[in-house]
Structure 1
């Protein structure tokens, strides 16, 4: 019987064969495939917001308000002075240090 089943590629349906088949299928399904060849680490890139004078002024006003310096140290009009603008433009173009 077993030789005839192998020769004719017949699936055995005896209880022991069915249990063996189920066990083999469960073992095959239990193995987790690896993704090593398909997955790689993505390095985070630095998100740099492009400098604009308007964005700087908004951030400055927000900082002055948050630190309660809006009325005592630097008047808001100081940011409109040409020398102040030049200083900020020079600092914004610095790439190192």
Structure 2
């Protein structure tokens, strides 16, 4: 596993495997686009730690997405479908 960089206040980092890095980067790009569109700081949408965890678990449903730390019902309602779309692009049919 690659060591994960940690942002202040994120707590212990989540390690991801090398094969998950492209998905993590795609999730970060998706988050950046959302942040710009909504005029919010990116960390309000999701911390890097949360995106690393999503890249690691590769959720296939909103229920699976709830397993990622930092993804509560409000964030799932607002951003869940878009996040799952990014994950599907990397996971195939």
**TM-score, normalising length: structure 1:** 0.28
Q: Where is the helix percentage greater, Structure 1 or Structure 2?
A: 2
TM-score (structure 2 length as normaliser): 0.29
